[in-house]
């Protein structure tokens, strides 16, 4: 009984800590980090920085690592997940991280960023603070409808290619599906599509909070934000205080390191005994999260609360009617997508339930599922694990290599 009470107290303390940080993130000033260009330059890889302007005015920093071999094997775009940025791909360094491995293999590598993270805080005529209500009025739907196609068009024009390979981590898979469902003409601009831990269906999200509670919380927050206006949230990785805390909590031997790992495992899944993240735990802590819209967070809460996959629900028939011309938020039709997609997932990922991934595989016209063969593989392991090169990155590159001579692969449904 004592042990059960202690565990319950610790769980509540952890949830209160996470909630406190989320609320606090709306009121603390931030700094710019620019880890992506610094890390690439640190390892002496060639680097280009490009600014992509979306058709609705957002200015997105996009980074390019040109191929390192004389033979150019094609273009690969990597797209990050929710509250992340291009930094997420670059914490272990050459010989380990996917962008460097692709560049070494002769690919022209592009690292995309979405509106709202540290590389997407500019707009042609809106300021994220002075014009807060308008600047932050977006979800991942706009990322799929505007950001991703504008990034793709820019890359193809810059490189002279007609199509590219795509790797989307977590939300990076979701936005690609949104693009293919809402703008199907972009289907031909993908040679291959590979998703790692795609957060699409969320009915079986493994969190210690009932979906009904999340639904009620979303309704309360939605009513509040209707009055207050949408704004930035989950950006505390850009706080100086946060970075100092990461050094104190996550350095090798730090006495608070076990506490941080427990918080990490509560959110993303278990941390394997031999997966201590070595010297990069401080960098992981210091690079997550780097910003999102409060509306974007509400949209994710909606997916979990309802178990469906629809556009943003404004909470009333009148508002939905004004926005969509119908009283209910439109559903996404995943089965309309004709592209073949490779999906990598784990049985122990709390943020991307295996049952939901298998449902996505059944709903797609053409999909190939790859279950990671590890007893404890969490959401962050898809980019940070010491085993990621062998278990994930090399298979991804092998799939891309199969397209090198223009060969199209079709998967059995």
So what's the pLDDT on residue 27?
A: 42
Question: Is residue 281 one of the residues assigned to a domain?
Answer: yes
> What burial letters (b/e) apply to 340-358, b meaning 16+ CB within 10 Å?
bbbbbbbbbbbbbbbebbb
Residue 194, φ and ψ in degrees, nearest 5: -135, 125
Query: Is 170 tagged catalytic?
Result: yes
Cα(145)–Cα(161) distance, integer angstroms? 21
Question: Is residue 409 one of the residues assigned to a domain?
Answer: no
Mean pLDDT in residue range 164-179: 98
Is 90 exceeded by the pLDDT of residue 110?
A: yes
So what's the pLDDT on residue 260?
A: 84
Average pLDDT over all residues of the chain: 89
Cα(197)–Cα(79) distance, integer angstroms? 12
String of DSSP letters for 124-156: SS--TTTTHHHHT---HHHIIIIIHHHHHHHHH
Is 90 exceeded by the pLDDT of residue 90?
A: yes
Is 90 exceeded by the pLDDT of residue 34?
A: no
Query: Is 387 tagged catalytic?
Result: no
Question: Is residue 222 one of the residues assigned to a domain?
Answer: yes
Catalytic residue, candidates 170, 192, 287, 342: 170
Which tokens in the block code for residue 90?
A: 């670059």
What tens digit of pLDDT does each residue of 344-357 get? Answer: 999 999 999 999 99
Number of domain units in the chain: 1
Domain of residue 289: give its range: 2-310+339-401
Q: Which residue has the tokens 């009915």?
A: 203
So what's the pLDDT on residue 241?
A: 87
CATH number for the domain harbouring residue 394:
3.40.50.1820
Taking the alpha carbons of 205, 206, 210, 215 in that order, is the dihedral positive or negative? negative
Question: Is residue 320 one of the residues assigned to a domain?
Answer: no
Distant-in-sequence, close-in-space partners of 114: CB < 8 Å, separation ≥ 6: 60, 79, 80, 120, 140, 143, 147, 175
Question: Is residue 334 one of the residues assigned to a domain?
Answer: no
Q: Are 328 and 320 in contact (CB under 8 A)?
A: yes
Question: Is residue 411 one of the residues assigned to a domain?
Answer: no
Query: How many CA atoms, within 13 angstroms, populate the side-chain half-sphere of residue 329?
Result: 15
What tens digit of pLDDT does each residue of 281-336 get? Answer: 888 988 899 999 999 999 999 999 999 999 999 999 999 999 999 999 999 999 99
Mean pLDDT in residue range 220-249: 89
Question: Is residue 223 one of the residues assigned to a domain?
Answer: yes
Q: Which residue has the tokens 């199907």?
A: 184
Question: Is residue 332 one of the residues assigned to a domain?
Answer: no
Catalytic residue, candidates 80, 379, 385, 393: 379
* Whether this model's pTM surpasses 0.85: yes
Mean pLDDT in residue range 177-192: 98
């Amino acid at each position: 009984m004592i042990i059960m009470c202690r565990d319950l107290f610790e769980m509540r303390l952890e949830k209160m800590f996470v909630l406190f940080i989320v609320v606090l993130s709306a009121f603390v000033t931030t700094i710019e980090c620019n880890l992506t260009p610094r890390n690439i330059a640190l390892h002496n890889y060639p680097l280009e920085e490009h600014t992509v302007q979306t058709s609705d005015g957002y200015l997105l920093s996009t980074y390019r690592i040109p191929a390192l071999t004389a033979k150019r094997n094609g273009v690969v775009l990597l797209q990050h997940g929710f509250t992340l940025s291009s930094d997420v791909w670059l914490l272990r360094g050459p010989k380990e991280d996917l962008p460097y491995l692709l560049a070494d293999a002769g690919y022209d590598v592009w690292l995309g960023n979405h509106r709202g993270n540290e590389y997407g805080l500019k707009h042609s005529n809106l300021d994220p603070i002075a014009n807060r209500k308008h600047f932050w009025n977006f979800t991942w739907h706009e990322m799929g409808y505007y950001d991703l196609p504008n990034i793709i068009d820019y890359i193809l024009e810059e490189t002279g290619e007609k199509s590219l390979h795509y790797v989307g981590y977590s939300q990076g898979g979701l936005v690609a599906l949104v693009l293919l469902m809402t703008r199907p003409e972009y289907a031909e601009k993908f040679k291959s599509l590979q998703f790692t831990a795609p957060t699409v269906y969320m009915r079986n999200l493994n969190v210690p909070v009932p979906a009904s509670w999340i639904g009620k919380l979303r309704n309360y927050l939605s009513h509040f934000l209707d009055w207050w206006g949408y704004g930035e949230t989950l950006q505390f990785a850009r706080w100086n205080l946060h970075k100092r805390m990461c050094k104190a909590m996550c350095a090798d031997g730090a006495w608070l390191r076990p506490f941080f790992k427990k918080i990490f495992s509560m959110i993303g899944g278990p941390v394997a005994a031999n997966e201590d993240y070595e010297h990069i735990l401080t960098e992981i802590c210091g690079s997550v999260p780097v910003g999102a819209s409060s509306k974007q967070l509400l949209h994710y809460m909606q997916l979990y609360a309802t178990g469906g996959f629809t556009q943003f629900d404004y909470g009333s028939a009148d508002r939905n009617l004004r926005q969509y011309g119908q009283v209910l938020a439109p559903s996404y039709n995943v089965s309309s997508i004709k592209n073949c997609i490779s999906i990598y997932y784990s049985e122990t990922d709390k943020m991307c339930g295996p049952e939901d991934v298998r449902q996505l595989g059944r709903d797609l016209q053409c999909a190939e599922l790859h279950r990671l063969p590890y007893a404890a593989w969490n959401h962050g392991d898809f980019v940070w694990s010491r085993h990621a090169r062998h278990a994930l990155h090399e298979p991804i590159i092998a799939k891309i290599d199969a397209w090198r001579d223009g060969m199209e692969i079709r998967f059995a449904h």
